[in-house]
Every structure is written in structure tokens, then in C-alpha cells.
Amino acid sequence: MASRRDDFLSNADDSVVECRAFSHNWEDAGDFMNGRSVHIVLYCERCDSYAVVEWSKSAGTIEGRKYKYSPGYLNNTGQPVTKADARVERIRRTKFQGTKEFEKLLDQIDEERESYR
């Protein structure tokens, strides 16, 4: 029988698994001044979640964070789910291409960008 952790990930939407495996793809959704603080609203289009980050206007330090997740993002099983667990689930769901395709993509990236290898 699958563990509750496996049940959560195996039943989660692809977007939830990807954000848990890769981290969110935050984009700036708005910047707001509020007294001594600046509030930066971030949006993850992949999983439809929001983060509100509060910065000190004078020091630039992070004063607080709040998250609003899309339905199905939060794990309510009581069992911890790690990034590694999410990566294993993503691997399970993925249809992989071969080595030739990988090398071709790396060559294309090298031609278009500064090399990382």
C-alpha cells in the first residue's frame, strides 16, 4: 500500500509537483509602499499561487512573507513531502527523450548563449 506521502504527490496536479520539485516561477505582480515597508506581490503562473513579501524600506531586509496557494497545493496528509519526493514523482510522470536529443539541445543552447560547460 502506498504511503500517505506518495498518495499526496501521485494525486497532485503536474503544476503542484513541478513547483514543489523546481520551486515557484515567481513573477512580479505589483509593488506597493506602505509606511516603512514595501510590499512585493509575486505570482506563480505555473501553480496559480501568490506570495506577498514585505521589505524594510530603509534597510532592504525581509520583514515578512505570506503565501496564498491554489487549491490542491497544500499537503494536508500530515506527512512531510520533500523536494526530493517531488522530483521522484516528476521523474515517474515524465516521458524522457534520449541522449541524442539532449546533446542536440545542449549544442543549441551553447550556440545561443554563453557556455556553461
- Given a cut of 90, is residue 5 above it in pLDDT? no
Task: Write the pLDDT tens digit of every residue in 53-76.
Answer: 999 999 999 999 999 999 999 999
Instruction: Give the pLDDT confidence score for residue 88 in this predicted structure.
Output: 96
- Return the percent helix, strand and coil in the chain, to nearest 5: 35, 25, 35
Is residue 93 predicted with pLDDT exceeding 80?
yes
61 Cα distance to chain centroid: 23
For the segment 75-103, the average pLDDT, to the nearest whole number, is: 93
Model confidence, pTM:
0.80
pLDDT > 70 in the chain, percent: 91
Rounded Cα distance between 109 and 112, Å, is 5
The full set of domain ranges for the chain reads: 4-112
Mean pLDDT of 80-108: 93
